[in-house]
Amino acid sequence: MLIFMRNSASESDVNRVVERLDEFNLNADVLRNGTAAMIYVKDDSVEVPSLSAFNGIERIVHTEARYKLASRNHKPEDTIIEVGDRRIGGGNFCVMAGPCAVESVELGLEIASLLKSENLALMRGGAFKPRTSPYSFQGLEYEGLDILVEIRKQTGVLVVTEAIDVNSVGRVEKIADAIQVGSRNMQNFSLLKRLGKTSKPILLKRGMSATIEELLLAAEYIISGGNENVILCERGIRTFGNFARNTLDLSIIPAVKEKSHLPIIVDPSHATGKRNFISSMSKAALAAGADGLLIEVHTNPELSLSDGGQSLNPDEFKSLMVEIRKLASVMNVNVN
């Protein structure tokens, strides 16, 4: 950490900061350039509350990230997350697909057989739906979880489904192979803390206005709670662009790879809101180094209870998989 003191800061201002740092066992070196002073603290891992409130401080620059366990410094090699027999990260590209919401056993069985015909295993589908409007379909909730159990039992597919609050985590964790945290809940800290206590992998979606630091700190909540199995997901952010539902921020992929060992996948459905953008953005995500995709697929998007406009139909999904496999083979990436 570097603390830049104002030119006008007095000797006693500098001393008071150094003493405060000392209370936290932080060794400070005071560097001087004429009248200006700068205080250097090598250990940036200890948080000194309200340090900027001290008189004479111009600005504080952190030289280390506030997330630790999620950082590349902590773990240089890529983390590979296993969901059942599937792998995400470290050269393994995992395609997860399914309806926005769990609607019926029949729909789930059709999607499961589509996935199996593509040698894929992870089906997405929300039983609890965090909808912007209280008048929109809220999901089948506990009945939706029962439907997922039935589909899993009949087909052997693995299920990824969302937990929207602490109350329902217990039931979700019993049946899910991976638990999704939605964009709107990325900073629901009590939920993140609770998910630190489960052994199930967590699919953590980036908040629609979250910085990379906020995303990695959200992951840090889960990891520091005891669960190292976190998969990040870029799902588009809010910008002034109005031709798509959100702006897919693909540049976060190389940025995350630099800063963190965690895998990151891309959700082109929520990122674009448009079914005819999904194929190009999926290929772009793979080319940019993403570790997988989360795609909405419905047997009949026109009749979907939510997000049909951003859901591929089975034929479109199959065509996309042909292209994904071609690109993956050039990139020497294992699709699973």
Closest to 332 measured CA to CA, from 29, 20, 77, 91: 91
> Among 100, 123, 262, 285, which residue sits at the site for ligand PEP (rule: CB under 6 A)?
100
> Among 86, 194, 200, 235, which residue sits at the site for ligand PEP (rule: CB under 6 A)?
235
Which residue has its beta carbon closest to ligand PEP?
A: 182
Signed CA dihedral, 332, 230, 76, 70: sign only: positive
Residues between 175 and 214 with contacts to ligand PEP, criterion CB under 6 A: 182-184, 205
Min CB(184)–ligand PEP separation in Å: 6
Closer by beta carbon to ligand PEP, 20 or else 184? 184
Closer by beta carbon to Mn ion, 33 or else 133? 133
Q: How far apart are CA 180 and CA 204, in angstroms?
A: 6
- Binding string, 102-141, against ligand PEP, x = CB under 6 A? ------------------------x---x-----------
Closer by beta carbon to ligand PEP, 90 or else 104? 104
Interface with ligand PEP: number of residues (CB under 6 A)? 11
Interface with Mn ion: number of residues (CB under 5 A)? 2
Closer by beta carbon to Mn ion, 188 or else 304? 304
Closer by beta carbon to ligand PEP, 183 or else 304? 183
> Among 265, 272, 307, 314, which residue sits at the site for Mn ion (rule: CB under 5 A)?
307
**37: β partners:** 32
Min CB(147)–Mn ion separation in Å: 17
Residues between 183 and 242 with contacts to Mn ion, criterion CB under 5 A: none
Sheet with 2-5, side-by-side order of all strands: 28-33, 36-41, 2-5, 57-61
Classify each residue of 30-44 as buried b or exposed e, where b means 16 or more C-beta atoms within 10 Å of its C-beta.
Answer: eeeeeeebbbebeee
Q: Is 151 in the site for Mn ion (CB under 5 A)?
A: no
> Among 152, 245, 270, 283, which residue sits at the site for ligand PEP (rule: CB under 6 A)?
270
Q: Cα–Cα distances in Å, from 325 out to 24, 239, 271, 295, 318?
A: 53, 31, 22, 16, 11
Signed CA dihedral, 197, 139, 123, 274: sign only: negative
Measured from the Cβ of residue 274, the count of other Cβ atoms closer than 10 Å reads: 15
Min CB(172)–Mn ion separation in Å: 17
> Among 100, 145, 172, 203, which residue sits at the site for Mn ion (rule: CB under 5 A)?
100
3-state secondary structure (DSSP) of residue 187: coil
Q: How far apart are CA 331 and CA 14, in angstroms?
A: 54
Contacts of 258 (CB under 8 A, 6+ apart): 72
Closest to 222 measured CA to CA, from 169, 174, 277: 169
Amino acid at 227: N
Return residues touching ligand PEP (CB under 6 A). 100, 126, 130, 162, 182-184, 205, 235, 267, 270
Return residues touching Mn ion (CB under 5 A). 100, 307
